Amino acid sequence: MISSFMKYDITIIGGGTSGWLAAAYLKFHNVEKSICLIESPNIPTIGVGEGTFPTTMWLLNSIGIPHYKLLAESNGGIKLGIQYRDFSEQTFWLSTSGPEEWERWGTEMTKQVALSNKTAVVNENGFVACHFVAGDLAKLLKDHAITLGVVHLSEEVISSTVENNQCQSITLNNNNTISSNWFLDCSGFARLLVKQTNSKFVSYSDHLFVDSAVVGPTPYKNKEKEFDPYSKITARTAGWQFRIPTYSRIGNGYVYSSQFTSPEDAEKELRNTVPELDQVKHLKMTLGYYDELITGNIVAIGLSGGFIEPMEATAIHLTERTIIAFNDLLKGTDTVDSVNQYLKNKIKYIKTLILAHYAFSKRTDPFWKLAQTKAYNSEEIQEFFSKLQNGKFPTPQDKLDIAYPYTQWNELLKGFFQPHYYPAINNKAKAEIYMSTYYSPSHYNYIEELRKKNEQKNIHSH
């Protein structure tokens, strides 16, 4: 076999959402740089529905993927919020609306519209959260990245040379060697490159206990009725269950702690509530993060950098923020130290908001009692509340991360009957909620319309 030597400005190891998002975003903003993505042909996707923050749609829009294309080609749907069941004595709702709408309608607008199976209409520069099928989103990003000029190699990485946090080169199964100015590790839990650096992995297992999941898709019986524009999360004995409706199917899963239940019992508990489940997959998760996501010429993006917990669709948000911050570094508008510090702060903030979902629980299952105690007493929760201006709940005066504004914190605290702030909804706003619930389009019909629009645009472009 004849071997050859190739050099690129940026080499990405691993495809999936994080690899292809990095490829598309970085090539769009650095046309002059040569970017190569190496993807193993043998790695199956997990294939469960996923959710995003509104920032993802905005980001894709900014690199030339409009909202209708995103929703159509990722088999997506709109996500107006998350319904939390059995976490507290009441079912509560977290909305994805921004502070301006929240101050006017609280969570009532998105909640009423979503529960009526209606949806908000997305404007041209789309800023709405959505659900999608991960494999389909990766394919959309891949096609876009290749159109922009990213080189795609479908090969296995068989070895890599990392010395003093610098990856010198990697060798592929076809004997080719690749060197690069930068290597992006998007290899998921394999962590091919980052595990060879001096960056330390900080485990979160003393505070967060879910480390396993059983997942599987189910078909719709009546898509028009069941294709909800919101995620559903339900507390279970040893963790929590999710339901994520995508256009093509419903993603279901039970995320649990192996300390408190076995894979067999977890599967049984999931099948009891979702009897139509066919094949399921069992997954293990390592919770924690590397303390430096950029070390030498290696950048860990997505699951290779770490994972907190799939509770609030935070993984993709962290992936996109890492990519944007790395791009600032490439452009010379930021330094490695400040990017690492920014990402460290962001990860800590997201860990804090996940802990808050356990800290105020009154559930009495052994898992929940331990999770509640550990979360409530954690340094993150204690520090977060002590730094608030009133010490009890966030207000607009507290400068919080974009990932989770004061509005959502207050929805969460209200759901757990904790001190909180909630806007007074006047009669005019109540009338607007009523009208909106009445006049908004059905979620199913709206997505069908966007899919048709996308089809027509594709025909015209060809």
Does any domain span residue 68?
A: no
pLDDT digits (tens, 9 = 90+) for 162-188: 999 999 999 999 999 999 999 999 999
In 3D space, the residue among 68, 77, 70, 82 whose CA is nearest the CA of residue 110 turns out to be: 82
For residue 273, the enclosing domain spans: 212-284
Q: Residue 2: what pLDDT? A: 66
Coil, helix or strand for 117?
Answer: coil
The values of phi and psi at residue 228, to 5°, are: -75, 145
Mean of all residue pLDDT scores within the chain: 95
Between β-strands 231-236 and 288-290, what pairing exists: parallel, antiparallel or unpaired? unpaired
The residue assigned the tokens 């059983």 is 214
In angstroms, the Cα distances linking 444 to 19, 118, 240, 348, 432 are 30, 8, 27, 37, 22
pTM of the model: 0.95
Calpha distance 160→197 (Å, rounded): 12
In the structure encoding, which two tokens stand for residue 131, read together? 């659900």
Q: Burial, 62: exposed, middle or buried (Cβ in 10 Å; 0-12, 13-18, 19+)?
A: middle
The answer for residues whose C-beta is within 8 angstroms of residue 299's C-beta and 6 or more apart is 182, 183, 184, 185, 293, 322, 326
In 3D space, the residue among 4, 30, 2, 1 whose CA is nearest the CA of residue 12 turns out to be: 30
Q: How confident is the model at residue 49 (pLDDT cuts 50, 70, 90)?
A: confident
pLDDT digits (tens, 9 = 90+) for 388-445: 999 999 999 999 988 889 999 999 999 999 999 999 999 999 999 999 999 999 999 9
Does any domain span residue 172?
A: no
Does any domain span residue 248?
A: yes
Q: How confident is the model at residue 312 (pLDDT cuts 50, 70, 90)?
A: confident
Is the predicted pLDDT of residue 3 greater than 80, yes or no? Answer: no
Does any domain span residue 267?
A: yes
Q: Which amino acid is at 262?
A: S
Q: Residue 460: what pLDDT? A: 87
Does any domain span residue 193?
A: no
Q: How confident is the model at residue 48 (pLDDT cuts 50, 70, 90)?
A: low
- Number of structural domains (the chain) is 1
pLDDT digits (tens, 9 = 90+) for 247-270: 999 999 999 999 999 999 999 999
Does any domain span residue 279?
A: yes
Does any domain span residue 271?
A: yes
Asked if 21 and 193 touch (Cβ cutoff 8 Å), the reply is: no
pLDDT digits (tens, 9 = 90+) for 215-236: 999 999 999 999 999 999 999 9
